[in-house]
Amino acid sequence: MKFDILTLFTGMFSGPFDESIIKRARDKQLIEITLHNIRDYAFDRHQTADDAPYGGGAGMVMKAEPLAACIESVKAKQPNSTVVLTSPQGRKLTHSVASELAKRDGLIIVCGRYEGIDERIRTLYAEDDISLGDFVLSGGEIAAMAIVDATTRLIPGALGSDDSAASDSFGDGLLEYPQYTRPPLFMNLEVPETLLSGNHELIRKWRRKESLRKTSQLRPDLLSDLLLTKEDAKFIKEIMREDGSDT
């Protein structure tokens, strides 16, 4: 998969993209990441990429001309890639959105800055709009990193085991069950006996039940969108009884 990232600050990406899963995916040639400096497409000798907003107000707005030239240059080489804007007004990045993006041929991610981009860029070029949530960042670079990371781990082979991504939180619509490793006793807290039993069916049921428990406690809103099995319904009744909850 090809990621093209359009930004005013290419240096911000040198660390996150050179480590861990993304680095391994690049080494395996499962993904390709290219950074494009929007200022390189400015028309003046000062490489101006922003200007004061029409109508007045604080801050600066990213200019349409250099951004359009950058998008068109990249799109000409990657015609099947989707142009994605990072913006607070976009749809929220979720596991299902990342799964959808992972099926695209490529992403051209435009990192907004300052007070935003000239709206004509959205009108002319944007094919998708992604937000990390209801908070303000200094720019779209961190959002672009999140999009690349969340998408890459869903590409077959990126994690080394496709089952790993499926068992992550939100992989099946639930928060992930609690995880434990050695030692079996730590500061008087023991690993649940079921996990030490070696009985795979009991372990599967424990994990599913604890995923449901954690989700009901921390993100009950997720349960409303989940198609519950008969086993799930049974577990939820047990959880309500055990926790003394009416949820």
- The yes-or-no answer on residue 72 being catalytic is no
Q: Are residues 105 and 142 in the same domain?
A: yes
Q: Are residues 43 and 145 in the same domain?
A: yes
Q: Which tens digit of pLDDT belongs to each residue from 174-195?
A: 999 999 999 999 999 999 999 9
For residue 92, what are the β-bridge partners? 131
Q: Which of 16, 53, 88, 178 is catalytic?
A: 88
- Report which of residues 169 and 213 the model is more confident about: 213
Q: Which of 153, 176, 178, 207 is catalytic?
A: 153
Q: Are residues 158 and 189 in the same domain?
A: no
Q: Which of 168, 172, 176, 232 is catalytic?
A: 168
Q: Are residues 142 and 90 in the same domain?
A: yes
Q: Which tens digit of pLDDT belongs to each residue from 229-243?
A: 999 999 999 999 998
Q: Are residues 157 and 200 in the same domain?
A: no
- Residue where a domain stops, chosen among 162, 197, 223: 162
Please give the full DSSP string across 43-69, using - where no structure is assigned: SSTT---EEPPTT--SS-EE-HHHHHH
Domain count within the chain: 2
Q: Which tens digit of pLDDT belongs to each residue from 104-120?
A: 999 999 999 988 999 99
Q: How many residues does the chain have?
A: 247
- The yes-or-no answer on residue 241 being catalytic is no
- The yes-or-no answer on residue 168 being catalytic is yes
Q: Output b/e per residue, 168-180; b: 16+ Cβ within 10 A.
A: ebbeeebbbbeee
- The yes-or-no answer on residue 19 being catalytic is no
Query: How much is the pTM?
Result: 0.88
Q: Are residues 158 and 68 in the same domain?
A: yes
Q: Which tens digit of pLDDT belongs to each residue from 62-89?
A: 999 999 999 999 999 999 999 999 999 9
Closest C-alpha among 194, 200, 206 to residue 235: 206
Q: Which residue has the tokens 């695209």?
A: 104
Q: Which of 51, 65, 115, 176 is catalytic?
A: 115
Q: Are residues 138 and 204 in the same domain?
A: no
- What is the CA angle 47-79-69, rounded to 5? 15
Q: How confident is the model at residue 246 (pLDDT cuts 50, 70, 90)?
A: low
43: domain CATH number? 3.40.1280.10
Residue 133 lies in domain = 2-162
Q: Has residue 4 got a pLDDT over 80?
A: yes
Q: Are residues 124 and 16 in the same domain?
A: yes
Residue 170 lies in a domain: no
Q: Are residues 209 and 94 in the same domain?
A: no
Closest C-alpha among 54, 55, 76 to residue 4: 76
